[in-house]
A and B are shown apart, each in its own frame.
Chain A
Amino acid sequence: MNVWYLIYRVIIDDIIFYPPIYQFLIIPGLIAALIVALIIIWFERKAAAFVQMRYGPREIAPKIGGAIQLVADLTRYALQEIIIPETVDVLPYLLSPIIMIILALLPLEAVPITSIRTYYPIPPDYSLLIAVALSTLSPLFIIIMSWASNNKFAVVGGVRESFIITAYELIAVLGFLSVAAMTQSFNLVQIVNLQMSGKWFGLLNPIALLVVFIAVLMSTSGFPFEIPDSESELVAGPYTEYTGLLYGLNMGGAYIKRWVFSILITIVFLGGWAPYRPTPGIITGYFIPSLIISIKALIVMAIMSFLRSVYGRYRVDQALGIAWEILIPLTLVAFGLGLAEAYFGII
């Protein structure tokens, strides 16, 4: 009995709820991301279908509104033959989608999702900086995969991706850091604790939230910035030569990136686990706050997905113009607003 209890504790405490594993693989990591993808893609299809006067998916499980359509899609992707063209550079071609997904999830390792000290994956003193820095790694592999594909459409898509990266990264970083300017801290736990009173930084500094929101849309090629893989002239952009599971990974990569950014937005701007106050204990101190964050991030993602049914796509030079001429000055305004609020002690 004692032995079984010990094994049980080891599995629960040291494996499942060991913070780096829990956050990378379970909530808000891989498994949660998969469930979120299931919900969000279903929502995206159903919401678009509602706007567009049609039913959306309902062949698979019609009784629950086709909610598990993505499972069928993933099965199809997983079982499809992976065709590797002769002209590609095989090693980077095969590795970059996998590395991209892992790197896209990596920022979650830097994000504390509770205020209980024992459940920090890493010491949270500079967690905002580290998370933002880690989030900039995965797009590089889109460029690598487009180059390794050895295809004109893929290369053009990769070039566009690189243009967009340079534009949105500055915006996203400055947007997140304007909160650091408000709080005089890079510590995400402290940032959330300051929002416990209900004064979410998204309300105190809405410009920063808006700017980061648009930057995330750009980074994950969401509408109206679905530019690198614009179908009508570039087929599938950087992913043109990919088939089967690898293509599924690429598509999932964008969703995971959006998910990770949504969690960052939730923690920095939307109060994180507020108004809930974590108390020691696995369930109350770790599981529930992670769930609260996931639900808030889900709503952020749902808003991003809904834009698909309203907008077309901008031209790449227009998107860059919006980024460099409008959003970066706006980010500086947001940064100044943060400094001013800190100076006048509004926080």
Chain B
Amino acid sequence: MASNISSGSVPHLPGMEVTELSKNTYEVYIGPAHPGSGHMRIIVEVDGDVMVRVDPDIGFVHRTMEKLAEGRDWIKNIPLFERMAILDACNITLPYVEAVERLLGTEPPDRARYLRTLLCEINRIASHLYGMGIFGVFLGHSTLYMWAFGDREVFIDLAEQMTGARLTHSYPVFGGVRRDIPDDFPENARKATKYMRNRLNEYAKIFLNNPNIRSRLENVGIMSKNLATELGIVGPNLRASGVRYDVRLNEPYEAYGDVEFEIPVFEEGDSLARAWARVEEIRQSLNIIEQAVDWLEKHPRENFMHEKFWKTAPKLYKDVFSGQIDYAGKYRVKLMPLFASLKVPPGKAFARVEAGRGEMVYYVESDGEDVPYRVRVVSPSFRNVIAFKYLMPGHRLMDLPAIYGSFDYFPPEWDR
């Protein structure tokens, strides 16, 4: 210790104190206030430049969401759960809505199913672009950061045209969705998908095929198929390790059973594969958006809300929907009055979807009151975070951002 030195023959040197270590390693605390950590802390034990122990320390943005949910009306929990990951709002709240719908015994109409699918895919793209942008700036690549965040704006605008809100849409509600799309939406969506396809090729040119970035990512943080399944990794990170698992594929929900898409699977399992997995998923999401938009154009002015709720809708709402008033953002969208006094029959329900970062699971229990008895949330980021502990040791300290960023971190989601 410092006192040992100063008490000996060596004079006390302010600022030059040396601490004795039992091992030839030292600890570096990446976070919670660190430009490369997010709202979490990674305790890294470093031997020279090589990480020997990595301990992801989460919980800095815990907001007791599950407990808060027990004191709120059923409908008011939707905006609450959105706060887990506002950039992926539809995917994050959809399983809650689905679970409650199972308790209520209401099935959303077809149009609502397609509208939900559409917004889910828009959210997935926005979320992947966000993750890629952060990944880029972690590696010092500011151009990808700006490009991804700039192009994300395209899809946020689409979501705004669709729902009226850029991020916290609260779009899926029990029995359907909150409102229909404007008439010029399909055209804008097609423009956006065309634009994004071109942009993805440019991303590959400047980032994924850039020799500088490739050398940083190739063979870094290799997660084998076995390790990935053992740790329970989900989402694009799992598929980058060669496991073909996607809730959209294994247990189709909403309109996913009716649209055609592929699940990109990569065998390498390294950081580069995880980055590619996201790019390819964006491509598939663009396909899904086009198919959903086509379907919506072929089936105009169908009901987007279950009849049980629709019959309580205000007159303005019905007029807008039937085409008597031009659809525009100028009318305030009100919720169906029935939601305010909604009581859900007693029972237990479980639902899961494939959110941007992986499988999102809700377990909802009702005792017949106007608030849930229990809501259990398992978010994908929480399941992915453990991988840091097993993947990072053995790599150099400079690989930490290369692995961390490739997992598309989002601490507010895993802390709830």
Q: Which residues of chain A have a CB within 8 Å of any CB of chain B? A: 48, 51-54, 87-90, 93, 147-148, 150, 152-153, 156, 159, 223-224, 226-227, 230-233, 235, 308-318
Contacts and interface: CB of A to CB of B under 8 A. Distances in A.
Contacts of A152: 26, 28
B206 A310 contact: yes
Nearest to B134: A232
15 contacts: A52-B142, A52-B145, A53-B146, A148-B15, A150-B15, A150-B17, A152-B26, A156-B49, A224-B212, A311-B141, A312-B216, A314-B215, A315-B398, A315-B399, A317-B49
A6 B35 CA distance: 58
A312 B212 contact: yes
Contacts of B139: 232, 312-313
Interface centre among B15, B136, B400, B402 (most CB of A within 10 A): B15
A223 B15 contact: no
Interface in B377-416: 396-402
A52 B146 contact: yes
B140 A312 contact: yes
B150 A54 contact: yes
Nearest to A150: B15
Contacts, number: 101
A4 B137 CA distance: 59
Contact of A318 (B13, B138, B215): B215
B14 interface: yes
B65 interface: no
B21 interface: no
A231 B36 contact: yes
Nearest to A316: B398
Contacts of B212: 224, 311-314
B213 A312 contact: yes
B121 to A, nearest CB: 24
Nearest to B150: A53
B35 A53 contact: no
A308 B236 CA distance: 29
A315 B147 CA distance: 23
Interface in B126-159: 136-143, 145-147, 150
B58 interface: no
A52 B143 contact: yes
Nearest to B151: A53
Interface in B193-236: 206, 210, 212-213, 215-216
Q: Which 4 A-B pairs have the closest CB atoms?
A: A89-B15, A52-B146, A232-B36, A312-B141
Contacts of A148: 15
Nearest to B140: A313
Nearest to A53: B150
Nearest to B215: A318
Nearest to A226: B140
Interface of B: 13-17, 26, 28, 30, 34-36, 46, 49, 136-143, 145-147, 150, 206, 210, 212-213, 215-216, 396-402
Given A52-B143, A232-B140, A318-B215, 4 more contacts: A152-B26, A230-B398, A312-B136, A317-B396
Nearest to A313: B140
A308 B142 contact: yes
B30 A233 contact: yes
A222 to B, nearest CB: 11
Contacts of A312: 136, 139-141, 210, 212-213, 216
B316 to A, nearest CB: 40
Contact of A156 (B14, B28, B36, B399): B28
A150 B396 CA distance: 22
Contacts of B400: 232-233
Contacts of A308: 142
A152 B396 CA distance: 16
Contacts of B15: 87-90, 93, 148, 150
B14 A89 contact: yes
Contact of B28 (A153, A223, A310, A318): A153
Contacts of A90: 14-15
A227 B145 CA distance: 19
A53 B46 CA distance: 39
A213 to B, nearest CB: 16
Contacts of A53: 146-147, 150
A156 B147 contact: no
Contacts of A309: 142-143
Contacts of B26: 152
B216 A315 contact: yes
A286 to B, nearest CB: 40
Contacts of A235: 34-35
B141 A233 contact: no
A232 B142 contact: no
Nearest to A322: B215
A310 B397 CA distance: 23
A38 B224 CA distance: 50
B132 to A, nearest CB: 13
Contacts of B49: 156, 159, 316-317
Contacts of A48: 142-143
A317 B146 CA distance: 28
Contacts of B402: 315
A93 B13 CA distance: 14
A144 B140 CA distance: 26
A286 B16 CA distance: 48
A310 B142 CA distance: 8
A316 to B, nearest CB: 6
A73 B362 CA distance: 49
Contacts of A226: 140
A345 B145 CA distance: 51
Contacts of A314: 212, 215-216
A318 B400 CA distance: 15
A141 to B, nearest CB: 16
B28 A232 contact: no
Contacts of B136: 312
A233 B34 CA distance: 8
A235 B138 CA distance: 11
Interface centre among B46, B140, B146, B401 (most CB of A within 10 A): B140
